[in-house]
């Protein structure tokens, strides 16, 4: 099934109910996309979502996505434009006449410069999925505007509310709008207290309270609540959670912990002993020690919610060292999609955070706010997606085993 988001007009491809065919994986994926395009009569010029999103939805590598797209380009079904993305081909357009090509975003030819402040001291590592996938989404939308949007990225780790570099960024006058990608609590506090910016400004991912900016956040609390509630409905009552950087946790960690605790409290199952905390996100030994303490209790949890993909590998290694089977001895859900979750045997259930989609949504809104002089409105929330795989099993009572 394919659905089109009304604001961004990005076509979201979702897997069919049919099983994967034997043979090359990219041919199967090309067939899936081909069928969705034809069955849902997607019009010429309709953009497809980013490669990373397609790879995550279909549980394949980005290389497989690129091979599938190359096949569809060869067939004439789609066009791929370097730096812009993939689009349904307009068969009515004359290839020799550039003027006949559709204007993907329906916007003017004027270039609007938007400055982006990334809360990071340097260009983020590919493993920093919050920033890299958000940046991918911004670039995806900008590339569809035929040069009408120019993004300029600045990387700076905001250190405190009065950070001079952050304030200097907000005072720049050579742009039509601004975007802030906060990661740390210090950057969130900076946004909350900076007042009304001179330019239309959008803030992505983190939840902020400043009413003078356009707010597009992911509901981390809802994602953790949804995963915990699912495990509770599967009969689990002792559900553990493994988190990082406590007590100096990042905002998303605290929100996820809130969602987990809310679900456990509503079920009457909340217990401090079920939350394992590791202070150093880069110390695998410390993370594994926290996990071992959680699983080694006299009355251990039957399921674990892992706070993010950084915790997943040490959790799996600890379970293997303790001879605990994923999905059989302990059910497992990880917040954040990852190749490890997709490729593990059994595959790991995840709470997918649609970061690229959230960025596209924000970029589209900010652009039209610039064009139409629209003031900021209420916070817009993007909700996570629970992707269930083989790592979760229901609890069987003694009566059911008889």
Whether 82 is in a domain gets the answer yes
Which residue(s) pair with 351 in the sheet?
Answer: 335, 386
| 328 and 340 inside one domain | yes
Place of tokens 């120019």: 150
| 349 and 229 inside one domain | yes
| 338 and 363 inside one domain | no
Supply the pLDDT for residue 249.
58
**DSSP 3-state assignment of 349?**
strand
Place of tokens 């356009």: 214
Which residue(s) pair with 387 in the sheet?
Answer: 350
Angle between helices 51-58 and 355-372 (to 10 degrees): 140
Q: What's the CATH code of the domain at 58?
A: 1.10.10.10
Q: How many domains is the chain built from?
A: 3
Q: How many CB atoms lie within 10 A of CB 181?
A: 24
Whether 107 is in a domain gets the answer no
Q: How far apart are CA 315 and CA 293, in angstroms?
A: 11
Rg over CA atoms, the chain: 23
Residues 357 and 371 sit within 8 Å (Cβ to Cβ): no
Supply the pLDDT for residue 397.
52
Please list the alpha-helical segments (H only) found in 171-239. 185-193, 220-233
Q: What's the CATH code of the domain at 243?
A: 3.40.50.2300
| 91 and 134 inside one domain | no
Q: Token digits for 220? A: 């981390």
Whether 400 is in a domain gets the answer no
Strands, DSSP E only, in 43-121?
A: 78-81, 85-88, 112-118
| 247 and 348 inside one domain | yes
Domain that holds residue 135: 112-219+354-384
Which residues are CB-neighbours of 242 under 8 A, at least 6 positions away? 276, 278, 287, 290, 291, 294, 304, 305, 306, 307, 311, 315
Backbone angles phi, psi at 153, to 5 degrees: -95, 135
| 132 and 243 inside one domain | no
pTM (2 decimals)? 0.70
**Chain centroid to CA 93: how far?**
35
Q: How far apart are CA 252 and CA 129, in angstroms?
A: 13
| 284 and 213 inside one domain | no
| 245 and 344 inside one domain | yes
| 243 and 297 inside one domain | yes
Whether 44 is in a domain gets the answer yes
| 213 and 358 inside one domain | yes
Place of tokens 């981390």: 220
Strands 177-181 vs 112-118: parallel, antiparallel or unpaired: parallel
Q: pLDDT tens digits, the chain, 402 residues: what are they?
A: 333 333 345 666 667 666 665 678 888 888 888 888 877 778 888 888 888 888 888 888 887 888 888 778 777 788 777 666 788 876 544 333 333 333 433 333 478 999 999 999 998 888 788 999 999 999 989 888 878 899 999 999 999 999 999 999 999 999 999 999 999 889 999 999 999 999 999 999 999 999 999 999 999 999 999 999 999 999 999 999 988 765 455 778 889 999 999 999 999 999 988 998 877 667 888 889 999 999 999 999 999 999 988 889 999 999 999 999 999 999 999 999 988 999 999 999 999 999 999 999 999 999 999 988 899 999 999 999 999 999 999 986 544 433
| 228 and 312 inside one domain | yes
Q: How far apart are CA 152 and CA 181, in angstroms?
A: 13
């Amino acid at each position: 099934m394919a659905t089109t988001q009304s604001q961004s007009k990005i076509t979201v491809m979702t897997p069919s109910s049919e099983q994967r065919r034997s043979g090359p994986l990219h041919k199967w994926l090309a067939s899936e996309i081909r069928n969705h395009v034809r069955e849902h009569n997607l019009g010429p010029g309709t953009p497809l979502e980013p490669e990373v999103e397609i790879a995550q939805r279909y549980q394949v590598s980005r290389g497989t996505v690129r091979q599938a797209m190359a096949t569809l380009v060869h067939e004439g079904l789609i066009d791929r434009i370097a730096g812009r993305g993939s689009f349904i081909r307009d068969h009515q357009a004359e290839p020799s006449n550039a003027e006949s090509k559709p204007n993907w975003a329906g916007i003017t030819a004027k270039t609007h410069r938007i400055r982006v402040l990334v809360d990071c001291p340097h260009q983020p590592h590919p493993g920093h999925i919050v920033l890299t996938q958000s940046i991918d989404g911004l670039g995806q939308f900008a590339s569809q505007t035929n040069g009408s949007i120019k993004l300029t990225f600045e990387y700076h780790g905001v250190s405190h509310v009065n950070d001079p570099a952050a304030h200097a960024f907000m005072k720049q006058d050579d742009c039509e709008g601004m975007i802030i990608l906060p990661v740390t609590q210090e950057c969130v506090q900076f946004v909350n207290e900076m007042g009304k910016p001179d330019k239309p400004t959008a803030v992505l991912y983190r939840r902020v309270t400043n009413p003078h900016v356009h707010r597009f956040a992911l509901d981390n609390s809802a994602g953790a609540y949804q995963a915990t509630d699912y495990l509770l409905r599967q009969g689990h009552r002792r559900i553990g959670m493994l988190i990082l950087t406590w007590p100096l946790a990042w905002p998303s960690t605290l929100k996820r912990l809130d969602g987990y605790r809310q679900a456990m409290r509503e079920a009457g199952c909340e217990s401090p002993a079920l939350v394992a905390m590791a202070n150093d996100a880069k110390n695998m030994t410390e993370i594994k020690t926290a996990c071992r303490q959680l699983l080694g209790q006299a009355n251990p949890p039957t399921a674990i919610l892992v706070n993010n993909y950084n915790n997943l590998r040490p959790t799996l290694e600890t379970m293997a060292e303790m001879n605990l089977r994923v999905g059989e001895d302990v059910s497992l859900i990880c917040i954040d999609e990852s190749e490890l979750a997709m490729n593990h045997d059994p595959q790991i259930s995840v709470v997918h955070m649609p970061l690229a989609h959230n960025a596209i949504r924000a970029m589209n809104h900010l652009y039209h706010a610039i064009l139409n002089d629209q003031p900021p409105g209420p916070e817009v929330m993007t909700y996570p997606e629970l992707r269930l795989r083989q790592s979760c099993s229901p609890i069987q009572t003694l009566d059911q085993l008889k």
